[in-house]
Structure formats: structure tokens, C-alpha cells
Structure 1
């Protein structure tokens, strides 16, 4: 008979994922053991394996949690009322706000993707492409003349993500500029850049 899930199953999984993200970000996937994850969660290795069958499954959960949150944030923003300019700006703001506070997850995604088995890595890459497609569609909505110029649209999209993907390396949440200000700057730069660079 299958073991039933406890009422706090999802909460415990999230806690494991969060601590694993912190440890993998600081020590690398190979440098942080399941025992260290268990100690950080104040639990046993055997209980960790109840939630995740393998260390690679924990790594996948860290990445999947992060990229799925980004996709959901972008989708919500893209579906907001307003014209294309407003929705593109809203998506940029939503993504920057989501990146703020997710530095550990982002570090792991950027540095450890190659550690996943091929099938799991392909799932993460598919979600990343979904995220790119959402922003690409918003750029197209703002500049319909780019309908026949996918390379230019993708370049604009990648320039935007190149701008925000590395926030964890320089953004100080306790500094004089808060995440909302950074989000507004990124949105302004993206919208203005699309309008100017699209020709």
C-alpha cells in the first residue's frame, strides 16, 4: 500500500529545495552532499530521500521551481489589460521582481544545468524557451513589423535576459536602489530598446 502524503508535504519539499539551492549556489552541486542538505533542513538523509529519490532530483527541483515561477510571472503580466507597450513593461517588471530574492536559484540554474541527466535538462531548457517565447510574443505585439524577422526579435529578447539574468551578481537589496526601481529601469530600457532598435 502506498504511503500517504502528510498535510505539510509540499511545505517540506519547498524547504528542502530552498536549502539545497542555498548550498548548491555556495558550494556547487558536487560540493554539497545530501547529508548537508538534510542537516540544513534539520532532518535525516532518509527523510530527504522520501521527498526526492536522488540528489539529481533535488537539483532538478531547484531549477524547475525557479523557471516555472518565472514562466508564471511572465504569463500573468502578458495577460494583464493594456496595450502591447504596457504589457511588455509589466512582464519586464514582473521578471525583475521575481529574480530579486532568487539569486541562489539563478546561480544554480546558470552553473549546474549540465549536471542534470539529458531528459531532465531538456525539460528545463523547454521551460526556458517558453519564457523566451512569451517575451518574444510581447515584442512582436509591440512591433508587428518584426513578424518576418525572428532573428532580430530573438536578439532583443536575449539582450533583455542578458541584462537581468546576472542581477544576483551585483544587486544589493539593502542598497540605495530597491528592486522596484530596478524593475522600472529594466522595463523602460526594454520597451524603449524595442521601439528604437526594431527600426
Structure 2
């Protein structure tokens, strides 16, 4: 007979994923142990292994859950027809989706390098879909962009977005929306188009 899942199974699984992400971000994916994760989550190692049978399985579950949800949120977002408004809507959604997910965001590069190739390819597939969506929106504003130039522009936009959590730790939704205005202005018109009111406080400057 198949084992019946507890009513709070999904909630506990989510809590374990969030706690494990904190440990991996704090300790480094390679150095973190299942014992540390169990302590962080307030569960026994035996209980932790009930949910994930290895550290690799846990790491993949964190990144798969995070990136799949991010892909769904961004790739299926309804966007305005106007090119500038479309880019602003997408950059805003990226930053809002990142809110509260600093640990998951931070461990992507190291985590993916430690996973088996097949699992890493699944995660890279999500990332490619997200990048393709941004490229599609950028090209609406500059149809002449293609090939390497389009990819360079797309990755430049993500460069500005992906490091926001370092520059403005704890930024709220309003600060994220304001910074999305800055990124959109720079992407479409250069630094002269960046709105002064949207400039976030940069730590250390």
C-alpha cells in the first residue's frame, strides 16, 4: 500500500526548501551539509531525508522550484503593446519576482555547477526561456537588433536587474518599481533617459 502523505507535507517541503536555500547561500553549496540544513529547518536528518534523499536532490529541488516558477511568471505575463511599457512591465515583474528570493538567486551559479549535467540542463532551459522573453520584448523597441547584438543587450539588462539585491538589500516593492524605470530608461535611451527620481540608494556609495 502506498504511503499516505501528511496533510502538511507540501507546507513542510516548502519550508525545507527555503531553509536549505538559506544554508546553501550562507555556507556555500559545496560546503553545506544535510545536518546543517536539518538544524536550520528544525527537523531531524531522518525527516529531512524523507523529503530529499541526497544533498544534490535537495539542491535541484530548490533551483527547479524557484526557476520554474520564475519562468512561468515572466514568460506568461501579459504585456502592453507599447514597446516601452512592455519592457517596463517585464523589468518590474522580474524585480518583484526576485523579492524575498535572494538566497535562491544567489546560489544558482554554484549550485548548477555541482549538479549532474542532465539536471543542470533542465535549469538552464528555464533560464533560456526567460532570456528569450526579454530579448523578444527588447526587439520590439529596436527591430534592428539581432544575433549577438540582441543577446548582448538582453544580458546587459539582466546584469542591471540581477545584482539589484546587492546594491539595495531589503528594497521594497516601490523601490523595485522605481529601479525598473531606471533600467528601462537606460536600455531604451541610454543614461540620459534614466529618471533621477528612480535612482535607488546604492550601499557603500
How would you bin the TM-score normalised by the shorter chain? Answer: 0.7 to 0.9
**What is the alpha-carbon distance in structure 1 between the residues aligned to residue 30 and residue 144 of structure 2?**
47
Cα pair 2:83 2:141 within 8 Å, conserved: yes
Q: How many residues align?
A: 190
Q: Which residue of 2 aligns with 1:178?
A: 175
Could you give the per-residue CA deviations for residues 143-192 of structure 1, whole angstroms, max 9, x where no partner exists?
Answer: 3333xx221111111101111222232222269x8223223322332333
Displacement over 3 Å in runs of 4+: none
Cα pair 1:100 1:167 within 8 Å, conserved: no
Q: Which residue of 2 aligns with 1:113?
A: 112
Q: What is the correspondence of 1:20-31 to structure 2 with a 5 Å cutoff?
A: 20-31=20-31
Could you give the per-residue CA deviations for residues 2-45 of structure 1, whole angstroms, max 9, x where no partner exists?
Answer: 21222222211111110111010010122221111111111111
Cα pair 1:19 1:37 within 8 Å, conserved: yes
Q: Is residue 35 of structure 2 the alignment partner of residue 35 of structure 1?
A: yes
Q: TM-score, normalised by structure 2?
A: 0.83
Q: How large is the Cα RMSD of the aligned pairs?
A: 2.1
Q: Which residue of 1 aligns with 2:132?
A: 133
Cα pair 1:103 1:168 within 8 Å, conserved: yes
- Provide structure 2 residue ranges, at least 5 long, that are not aligned to the other structure: 194-205
Q: Which residue of 1 aligns with 2:160?
A: 163
**What is the alpha-carbon distance in structure 2 between the residues aligned to residue 85 and residue 32 of structure 1?**
43
Q: Which residue of 2 aligns with 1:8?
A: 8
**What is the alpha-carbon distance in structure 1 between the residues aligned to residue 136 and residue 161 of structure 2?**
18
Higher relative contact order (CA 8 A, sep 6+): 1
**What is the alpha-carbon distance in structure 2 between the residues aligned to residue 188 and residue 5 of structure 1?**
50
Q: TM-score, normalised by structure 1?
A: 0.86
